[in-house]
Amino acid sequence: MTGPAATASEAGSAGVGDRRFFTWAEPPDEFILENGASLGPVTIAYETWGELSPRRDNAVLVAHAFSGDSHAAGFFPDDPPGAKPGWWDFMIGPGKGLDTSRYFVICANMLGGCRGSTGPSSVNPETGAPYGLTFPMMTIGDVVRTQKRLLDHLGISKLHGVIGGSVGGMQVLEWCVRYPDMVRAAIPIATTLRHSALAIAFNEIARQAIMADPNWHRGNYYDGQSPDLGLAVARMVGHVTYLSDEAMRRKFGRRLQNKQSFSYGFDVDFQVESYLRYQGSKFVQRFDANSLLYITKAADYFDLAQREPPAPTLADIGGVAIKFLVISYSSDWLYPTYQAKEIVRALKRSGLNVSSCEIEADLGHDAFLVDDPRLSRLVAGFLDGIDGA
Amino acid sequence: MTGPAATASEAGSAGVGDRRFFTWAEPPDEFILENGASLGPVTIAYETWGELSPRRDNAVLVAHAFSGDSHAAGFFPDDPPGAKPGWWDFMIGPGKGLDTSRYFVICANMLGGCRGSTGPSSVNPETGAPYGLTFPMMTIGDVVRTQKRLLDHLGISKLHGVIGGSVGGMQVLEWCVRYPDMVRAAIPIATTLRHSALAIAFNEIARQAIMADPNWHRGNYYDGQSPDLGLAVARMVGHVTYLSDEAMRRKFGRRLQNKQSFSYGFDVDFQVESYLRYQGSKFVQRFDANSLLYITKAADYFDLAQREPPAPTLADIGGVAIKFLVISYSSDWLYPTYQAKEIVRALKRSGLNVSSCEIEADLGHDAFLVDDPRLSRLVAGFLDGIDGA
């Protein structure tokens, strides 16, 4: 598994079953971001499952959502007993929706993240200290451009498919406008063409919660206490938007936590309070507050219908051969089905080949992360019908 | 305007047009709350509009929502030019939905609030310092019981109507189960029978945002800096839940604030961000963070379908003569129409006289606060059809 990028270093390779783990970097070159800033070196952490075919034509790129990482399936060699597998384990494996006996599946931690790829918590080689807010603001376009460099490095010039949900779905669409000749099949899930005012509002609340934490120190907290309380509140906001009214009624209702009656105080009374506090406190152990700031902002900037040249829009890819499957969930109120329909309409206006499906589910936006054979079958069938692999 | 409560003091009386302003208190008696705690003295700030009829049978009680106050209509004598009138000015006045040429309209700041009524920012006479978290946890039932004392004081033994939206609507329903013989007409608006997991979740996030602010000091901040940043984030959460996806698209869309292009930083880019930051910073000037904690908790505890005896439920008022008009708004996702229908079903199960109306509006939960002749006409017509005034 070596590619044409001679300067790239590979490290951390380890395998369990069909899983591999690499790190890609490009020192001393600089990466020029969409806003004109430069960054280097850039490290992109990624994992792969399955085998790249001799013709290098069976790759499927999985783009993760805002708090995800490259560990989309399987286990790490040093996982303790009982560890959870990667975040899309039900989708990736032999015979699964992304069948690793046929496809070479790749997932990379996004630029700006905090799980191995370069982000605000990475050390700026010019200063020897973490970037913090000196990290340049990246866009979804920049994220996709680093993924393109990774594919160059792997010697892959055409993707059989690119798939992802939420912010991952934005990357899917961005791939199609940036590199339309490199994609055969695109599956954007639970996502949008342009971030809505409601979605921006929730992201802004999450950011304000972090920036209100005095431990944030305008992003310079890496040598001291982290803004954990602010980050936890931000995560709670996210979690509510990922669920639905129906799912929360079913999952929690008004059930009390370990109590027969109300506390008449500010400790946890209801299970839903306990759930949110737990999710918030768990998140701060694995995620960097500055990464949340950057990634939410990149999502807010995302608009494939209207943006400044030279960034391409959906209108610029008329006539390309990509086949699209646009998937939404009936109870997703963060990226509702009407926004999936906007994607479909825009693609059709560009004369593209589009199928779409709304999956009935009461789980809200998070539904794409929950084991559901309907999604697996839909994706498997769609990829199977694409010529070339 | 004197009532039977001989120990009550009246102060701050001032009139502009048909508006009056009093303060009611009951020292040195103690008020026993639903959780068993005692509190005293209790002051309830209230305002009235119109004239109480000689038979004292034309009173309409307006219950305000969580961040409201007694100033439901008109102006204060010392209002500067250009000041905004009270929060329901379009509803209260001669010829309006609550016609002050016919009805004596009363609105009281709720117990636990911070606009003249006793709450956590009030001075505890035993310590000489503000209550803070030593303020006893009150319920919606307790709020209504203080309103009942106010009516006793005003010499009103029967309300022509009780009306309110959101947390005010909870008070309307609570009035009906606590004092069913004192109410002729009840108009709960944009409210619920029992706080849902989704609504509890958003309230919990707001509380966590406040409690994460180091200036909060477990509620002891009255002699120092207030938890303004946390309270502002809490308010932003509230504001998003009061709007709707549609309203936010129409009101803000993706329009930029004072800019031609993105900042690629964490200052305001979008108008919706500016709006939220403004609402947050404005709110901290008029509201007490601890009051938010107490009032949201009272709302979360609210459940008229199932609760511990001796608190009455809707099932306990079968056969009473109250006429109900249950109003919801089509785009309210905090207290959606399906929850209004639950109220209607529960009332019908108790054999009560219920009408209901869903108003088509894209403004979300806040719609009941926005001038709409449909609401005015609906309320005026309903109250007009009630015998007795």
Convert the pLDDT of each residue in A64-92 to its tens digit: 999 999 999 998 888 888 989 999 999 99
Catalytic residue among A69, A99, A300, A332: A332
Q: Is B194 on the interface with A (CB under 8 A)?
A: yes
pLDDT over 70 at A5, yes or no? no
User: Exposed, middle or buried, B385 (CB in 10 Å: 0-12/13-18/19+)?
Assistant: exposed
Query: Which of chain B's residues have a Cβ under 8 Å away from the Cβ of A236?
Result: 201, 204-205, 208
| CB nearest A254 (choices: B133, B194, B232) | B194
Q: Is A32 on the interface with B (CB under 8 A)?
A: no
Instruction: Report mean pLDDT in 10-residue bins for chain B, 389 residues.
Output: 32 37 59 91 90 96 96 88 92 95 95 94 93 97 95 95 98 98 98 97 97 97 97 97 94 90 93 96 97 98 91 89 97 97 96 97 95 97 85
Residues 136-155 of B with CB under 8 A from A: 136-137
Task: Using CA coordinates, name the residue in chain B closest to A249.
Answer: B197
A18: annotated active-site residue: no
The 10s digit of each residue's pLDDT in A274-308 is: 999 999 999 999 999 999 999 999 999 999 999 88
Q: How far is CA B357 from the centre of its chain?
A: 21
ipTM for the assembly: 0.91
Residue from A134, A140, A198 to probe the interface with B (highest B Cβ count within 10 Å): A198
Query: Which of chain A's residues have a Cβ under 8 Å away from the Cβ of B233?
Result: 205, 208-209, 212, 233
pLDDT over 70 at A20, yes or no? no
Residue from B244, B257, B272 to probe the interface with A (highest A Cβ count within 10 Å): B272
CA–CA distance from A11 to each of A21, A23, A27, A115, A324 (Å)? 8, 5, 14, 15, 35
Average pLDDT, chain A: 91
The reply to whether residue A272 touches residue B201, judged by beta carbons under 8 angstroms, is yes
Predicted local confidence at residue A7, as pLDDT: 31
Dist CA B358 CA B337 (whole Å): 7
Query: Which of chain B's residues have a Cβ under 8 Å away from the Cβ of A201?
Result: 236, 240, 248, 272-273, 276
Would you name the residues of B annotated as active-site residues? 166, 332, 365
The reply to whether residue B270 touches residue A297, judged by beta carbons under 8 angstroms, is no
Question: What sign has the CA pseudo-torsion A230, A235, A241, A246?
Answer: negative
Domains of chain B: 19-194+303-384 (3.40.50.1820), 199-296 (1.10.1740.110)
pLDDT over 90 at A21, yes or no? no
The reply to whether residue B208 touches residue A232, judged by beta carbons under 8 angstroms, is yes
Largest CA-CA distance found in chain B, in angstroms, rounded: 67
Q: Is B303 on the interface with A (CB under 8 A)?
A: yes
**In sequence order, what are the residues at sequence separation of 6 or more whose Cβ sits closer than 8 angstroms to the Cβ of residue A223?**
none
Dist CA A73 CA B372 (whole Å): 53
Predicted local confidence at residue B387, as pLDDT: 80
Q: Is A35 on the interface with B (CB under 8 A)?
A: yes
Query: Which of chain A's residues have a Cβ under 8 Å away from the Cβ of B230?
Result: 212
The reply to whether residue A201 touches residue B297, judged by beta carbons under 8 angstroms, is no
